[in-house]
Structure 1
Amino acid sequence: MKLNRLLKYAVFLVGMSAFIQVYSVQAVLPLLMAELHAGEVQAGLAVGATVLGVALMSPFMGMLSDAFGRKWLIVGSVLYLALPTALLAFAPNIEILTLFRLLQGLAVPGITVVLIAYIGEEFKKHEVVQLMTLYVSGTVFGGFSGRFMLGHLTEWLGWRSAFLVMAALSAACAVFVWKQLPKSQNFVAKPHIQTALATLKSHLHNRVVLAAGALGGCVLFSLVGCFTYINLHLAQPPYALGSSALANIFTVYLIGMVITPLSAKLIRSFGSRITIFIAVGLSMAGVLLAYAQPLWLIVVGLTMMSSGVFITQAATINYIAEHVKEGRSLASGLYYMAYYSGGTIGAWLCGLAYAAGQWTAVICVLLSVQTAALLIAKKGMQAV
């Protein structure tokens, strides 16, 4: 299958659609806390609720996709995501907003889990690496644009109207992806539950899947914890940044769009495992810089931290695509369950840390988890 330009755009937009809603509320957390009378931990849980929804649904979506197909789940999930996003505009309190955020998360595995399996089945090895990096670049752009757009739309229209605009964008992306993403040619249905359970048992004893999942959990723990509570840190004196200024901070994600495609070269040159060591080290250095006082140096640190996370994710999902030959969708589902569970725990634990010791305590937690990521890559991701 030839990689035409519209196909590349479609894969990029799938990645963008998956993540444009997931973290968007981070840019307006201080405002939501004030208007909905929420504390730090409640605000963190509003972020983590979507991540929790992804974690809960990921393995089931993997089984469903292995049984019934790929494209319709991808497109349907992008379209469904528009509904709870629109409902956020009408949330009367932080509890209802958190519930709608959970519903958003239930849609995401139908995009992320299924697309990885789809790419692994339908394309040749060199094409897989290219499309995986395009997909991750799309997730990076989605993570940036969701926060950036919601922050600025909130200042222009108010946060409730801003969510309605974000919902319309998801619906438009679904239409484009439906038209441009080719139908599966190599998919073989495995509809029997016994087959799915046997595959699940195999994956739960597979070092590749277990190590990748544990590493993914550490990675998203760091990203969610850092980019949720840096907003509260920078909203306070001496910085006192508003919604638009906080949204502008997420421009660092655009650096990830440049860095992530280069990860394909790193993976081809050094392999996934060595690339992960380099990327996690870069991310740890960024966290240390984010503890600095000058705002410009914090921005440099956030750039390094997020770039390291994006490269680690690209290398990890490539590691799964390379080494898992059967039940790819379920393997991806298990990976994303662990990955997003880490994000949920990160939002919660870093919220407790922030409440107890402000940004300093969050930095200590982040460095501890990233150290664990290095140990997992060293011990669990040896050549197989």
Structure 2
Amino acid sequence: MTIDPRRVGVALAGYCAFLNLYAPQALLPALAQNFGVTAAEISAVMTAGTFSIALTGPFTSAIADLLGRKRVIVIAMLAVALPTLMVALAADVREIIAWRFVQGLALPPVFTTALAYVGDEWPPAEVPGVAGIYMMGSSLGGFSGRLIPGLLTDLVGWRPAIGTLALITVACAAAFAVMMPRERHFVRSEGVMASLRQMVRHVVDPRLVPIYAVGFGVLFNFMAVFTYVNFHLAAAPYFFTPAMLGMVFFTFLAGSVTVPLIGRAVAVFGRRRFVLGVLAVWVAGALLLLTGPLWSILLGLTLCATCGMMCQGVSTGAVTATATVGRSSAVGLYMTVFYVGGSAGASLPGLAWAAGGWPATVAMVVAVITGMATVVALFWREPA
């Protein structure tokens, strides 16, 4: 069986981006204790990265429509490594937040360009499956980015743990540069302003707006659950260490296994029906987070991770299938909305946590999932 190097490259791009984006998540309780800040205050470490991604996503996608695909991705991968290293050297929380913001500026060219590459290089019928491969790489990257620092922090401290991720990122960039073929079907944009005009059209496209709404909700819920569950499990009666919190993210592996099956499921049920079914299961998973036994909480986290990845895989594939013109700008806009949702999901649940602890945080997540289901049921349209 011949392995398509393009599919490997797409998976590598997802792995590299998400390796760094969520790396501090399992370390948040330890960082809060080390620097003497609250859960809501240390969550700004997560918000900084997602917020800067939301700011720059549209512009980097417009540039990618001019410069091509592979070159942009390789440069961006290498650029991510520097702020990752600087986070490891930071003297206080403010420096960590600042370098996390810079790190976020370098990430959009990786995933927006990779998804645009998928839309360019594969026929529409294959896009959901290839987007699923991207999500598999993303989920493995997110898992590794949380697990590796968690394990290393207990052994050598959090600074060498984060520094290790910078080295892995450079290695990923080198592997991507060697393995990924240059794009064959890329059509250069007429210019940055043309891409931005296309983006304005995407904002008012009734076929894309519901997809963007789902993207907002997906990362909101991911950030809410997988940021604040660390504080829940670090407290009584669980008392998890950073290494134990890193192990919690083994729940992501279930998503890595199931996400490549998205293409088949969409072919059978259609995107709209499939997403509605996944959202129903997601609510059940969120409710399990309120139970006491650890196995039940881990099952809930597994369902939340899997359902979120499935929704993300379907929605990213739907964007590239729906936007036949200006795919990079359409994906860039999706990423902006997606990471605005992530920024909100890292910060707003902090208010719920302060007011009502873990139950209030989970209630906010269930409310957002319900809103997503309403939007999909009423407004989602299948791509032509």
Q: TM-score range by the shorter chain?
A: over 0.9
Partner of 1:327: 326
In the alignment, is residue 378 of structure 1 matched against residue 377 of structure 2? yes
With 122-131 and 293-302 compared, the bigger mean Cα shift is at 122-131
In the alignment, is residue 246 of structure 1 matched against residue 245 of structure 2? yes
Provide the C-alpha distance between the structure 1 equivalents of 2:191 and 2:257, rounded to a whole number of angstroms: 42
Secondary structure of residue in 2 paired with 1:24: coil
The 5-angstrom pairing of residues 1-384 of structure 1 reads 4-383=3-382
Provide the C-alpha distance between the structure 1 equivalents of 2:359 and 2:85, rounded to a whole number of angstroms: 36
Provide the C-alpha distance between the structure 2 equivalents of 1:214 and 1:156, rounded to a whole number of angstroms: 41
Is the Cα contact below 8 Å between 2:283 and 2:366 reproduced in 1? yes
How far off is 1:63 after superposition? Answer: 0.8
In structure 2, what residue type is equivalent to 1:14?
A: A
In structure 1, what residue type is equivalent to 2:231?
A: L
Provide the C-alpha distance between the structure 2 equivalents of 1:182 and 1:121, rounded to a whole number of angstroms: 13
Provide the C-alpha distance between the structure 2 equivalents of 1:219 and 1:20, rounded to a whole number of angstroms: 18
**CA-to-partner distance for each residue in 1:57-116, whole Å, 9 max, x for gaps?**
111111111122111111111111111100011111111101111111112211111111
Secondary structure of residue in 1 paired with 2:186: coil
In structure 1, what residue type is equivalent to 2:271?
A: S
With 189-198 and 343-352 compared, the bigger mean Cα shift is at 189-198
What is the TM-score with the length of structure 1 in the denominator?
0.97
What is the TM-score with the length of structure 2 in the denominator?
0.97
Is the Cα contact below 8 Å between 1:42 and 1:94 reproduced in 2? no
In structure 2, runs of 5+ residues without a counterpart are: none
Provide the C-alpha distance between the structure 2 equivalents of 1:51 and 1:200, rounded to a whole number of angstroms: 20
Provide the C-alpha distance between the structure 1 equivalents of 2:194 and 2:251, rounded to a whole number of angstroms: 44
Provide the C-alpha distance between the structure 2 equivalents of 1:131 and 1:139, rounded to a whole number of angstroms: 12
Is the Cα contact below 8 Å between 2:128 and 2:314 reproduced in 1? no
Provide the C-alpha distance between the structure 1 equivalents of 2:209 and 2:187, rounded to a whole number of angstroms: 25
Identical amino acids, percent of aligned pairs: 32
Provide the C-alpha distance between the structure 2 equivalents of 1:254 and 1:7, rounded to a whole number of angstroms: 22
Secondary structure of residue in 2 paired with 1:27: helix
Provide the C-alpha distance between the structure 2 equivalents of 1:220 and 1:208, rounded to a whole number of angstroms: 20
RMSD of the alignment, in Å? 1.4
How far off is 1:267 after superposition? Answer: 0.9
Secondary structure of residue in 1 paired with 2:184: coil
In structure 1, runs of 5+ residues without a counterpart are: none
In structure 1, what residue type is equivalent to 2:35?
A: L
In structure 2, what residue type is equivalent to 1:274?
A: R
Provide the C-alpha distance between the structure 2 equivalents of 1:321 and 1:282, rounded to a whole number of angstroms: 26
Is the Cα contact below 8 Å between 1:15 and 1:139 reproduced in 2? yes
Aligned residues: 383
Secondary structure of residue in 1 paired with 2:208: helix
Secondary structure of residue in 1 paired with 2:207: helix
